[in-house]
Each structure stands twice: as C-alpha cells, then as structure tokens.
A = this chain, B = another copy of it.
Amino acid sequence: MSDTTNLRIPGPTSLPQSVREAGSRQMVNHRGPEFKALLGRVTAGLQRGFRTTDDVLILTASGTGALEACIVNFLSPGDPVLAVSIGEFGERFAAIARAFGADVTKLDVEPGRAAEPTAVAEALQAMATAGRAPRAVLLTHNETSTGVTNPLASIAAAVHETAPDALLIVDGISGLGALPFETDGWGLDVVATGSQKSWMVPPGLAMVSVSERAWAASETATMPRYYFDLRAARTSADKGETPWTPAVGICFALDAALEAIEAEGYEAIFARHAAVGAATRAGLAAMGFELFADPAHASDTVTSVRMPPGADWTAFSRELRSRGLVVAGAQGRLAGSVFRIGHLGDVQVDDILRALETIEAGSLALGIPVTRGVAVEAARAAAAAAGRQLVGSGAV
C-alpha cells in the first residue's frame, strides 16, 4: 500500500508523520527512568482526553482485550448484567460477559438505530422486578459496525436514576477522543478505548479508566483474571511501570500523538469530526447511496452505507482499492450488504472529498448508477454547515 492511499476504514487509522517517527525510536528499558517519565506523561494526557480524574491504565492488547478487562475485573460468575447491544460490538461485549459466566440480559436494538434511554430504564426495571437487579450495564458509545453513536449522556442518566448501584461500563473504543465525551461528567465507572482509533496510533494498546466504586467492586469480583488484572496494572503504574512488558514503541507513538492532539485541542478535534462526518453523509446521499444509520444518531467517526442493489461488495472494494481508496466491509449479519467509511483520527474534509470522487468514479466504472458531479459540492456545504452549527450551539 502506498503512503498516498486514502485509508478510510474505522481503524487502524492513518498515522501522522510525527507519530510514525516516534514509534520507530530505539527500545528503552521498560523498567527504567525514560519509560517511567513517558508513562506518567501519557497517562496524564489520557486522563485529560477521557475527562476524568480516575485512574487510566494502559494495556498491551487490542480493544477487545480492554473489553475483557472491563468485564473480568468487576464481575463475578452469575452476576446479572444488562448488555445494551446496537450492533456487532455490543454483541461482542455481551459475549465476553457470558464467556466469563455473567448472567446476561440483552437489550437488542435494531441495527442502524441508537438505544433509547427509556428502553434502557425499562429493561433495568424489569430485571429488578424479576429479582435480578443488574450489577453492571454494558454500553457501546459509538457502534463501529453500524455507524451509530448512542446518546450516552442520556442513557447514563437513565441508568443512574433507575439502577444507581449498577456499574456503568462503556466501550468507548471508536468514539472517545473524536466525539464529545465526559467520563466523570456522565458518571461512567469503566471506559475502554483503543490506540488505533481517534488517537492516531498503531493498534496494540488499549486504555481503561476505573472509578473508585469500580475499584471497590474489583475487590470482591471473582471472575478469573491474570493478564488483564487491573489491580496489578494499578500497582505497577504507581511505580511508573506496567506489570508485563508493554508495547514500548506504541507508547512512544501515543506520546507523540497526544502532543499533536493537545496542540489542536479537543474542541477543534470534535468540530473537525463533525465536519467530516457531515461531509461524508451529505456526499454519499447526494450521489444516491442509502445511509444505514438513523440520521438522528449517525456517527461522526464512521459511516455505514448500504451496498446498492445488485452491486457486489468484493468487486466494489477491489475497484476502489485500485483507485487508491480503502474502505471497510461490514461484519457479522451485515457482511456483503453494507460498506463502511472511517473518518476518525488524522482526517480532514479534503480526504473525504477525495474519497467521494473515487467512489463516484469507481461506481460509474462498475455500472453502479450514481448521480454525477454533485457529491463534492454537497459534502463541502455540509462540512461548512456543521462548522456553523457547532459555533452557533456554543459547542466549540
């Protein structure tokens, strides 16, 4: 793959040059002073990104490893858990809880839609009435498989009101750092993210925040754990170390990325993602593609699009790739019928305009009927309007 490839998948995301250079530094002793300073700096930067004063621990794993850590540290076999699933990653969170013996109740939301806070509250009440008051609620912030962002602040508020003793455990992997997020402000007990998403860092690190009441729960939780034991991670972090050898190179990269992120500023980053999200949706819709997600909850980090009738995903993907654009297929039940465009991390509106041009040309080459010559202008206008809206709303 050439360096000019337009990598439009929802992670791994493209790496800025400064991140690539930092990641290629020579190794250091992971139990020495340089790494200790690095770990302290990176942890503080993540706390600012998570908007939390809770502990944030860095694990050497993919995001799925962090989801496992979110389960096994805080629950015991048999614990009732409500898993709110709006797509494949919600399914995965529930599957991990089941694999370790939790008594999982699923709240399934139709793919493409967000969870309703009232539906979550009703599910919690029903569990309590049945004598199975949930020990934890598993939520996805941004569902990468469908391109839907849950109204997490409202859902969290509903959980706190209906089931105040339940831990709020959040998969923040593909939204945190790109979309407004308030770990402390929304009262989230455990939040996970992954290096290869908005953080613009290669995959291999996962980060988890843990609230005081989650730590208290970890003391009595009996699910088996070793590699993902967050208490071991906390003990080591207090000494400026990790319990097991960390992915040192990716930590170097994360340090550089956090520097770039803070130089841009989170408010500017959120506005940029709002603009690229709006541009992607407007451009595709103008061409005639059908967007998969409910417009009210469409994600600003990833857009899911229905494959046009009769069009073949494999041929479509190959055609776009030959033109320098890499998009993602769908997973699970949506495989073949949906494709996805990632727009998170190191992405500008121009990257989206280029992607739209390629999709237009590639579609026409394959005989997929799309409206010509309108996508870029529609995208530009939507990006500009998104910027105005954000400014107008006082969000930036």
Contacts and interface: CB of A to CB of B under 8 A. Distances in A.
B61 A27 contact: no
Number of copies: 2
A61 B34 CA distance: 22
A125 interface: no
B244 A63 contact: yes
Interface string A1-22: 1010101010111110000110
Contacts of A196: 27, 245, 248
Interface stretch (A94-102, A164-172, A285-293, A363-371): A94-102
A155 to B, nearest CB: 24
| 5 nearest A-B pairs in the assembled complex, by CB-CB distance | A204-B247, A24-B24, A202-B249, A62-B244, A64-B244
A30 B62 CA distance: 12
Given A11-B245, A60-B61, A65-B244, 7 more contacts: A7-B27, A9-B29, A13-B27, A20-B25, A31-B328, A65-B65, A203-B248
A7 B35 CA distance: 14
Contacts of A227: 61-62, 64-65, 67-68, 96, 228
A203 B252 CA distance: 12
11 contacts: A1-B32, A1-B34, A12-B248, A28-B326, A60-B60, A60-B203, A60-B204, A64-B243, A68-B226, A100-B226, A204-B247
A90 interface: no
Q: Which applies to chain A's interface (DSSP): helix, strand, loop or mixed?
A: loop
A11 B245 CA distance: 8
Interface of A: 1, 3, 5, 7, 9, 11-15, 20-21, 23-34, 60-65, 67-68, 95-96, 99-101, 194, 196, 202-204, 223-228, 243-250, 253, 321, 326, 328-329
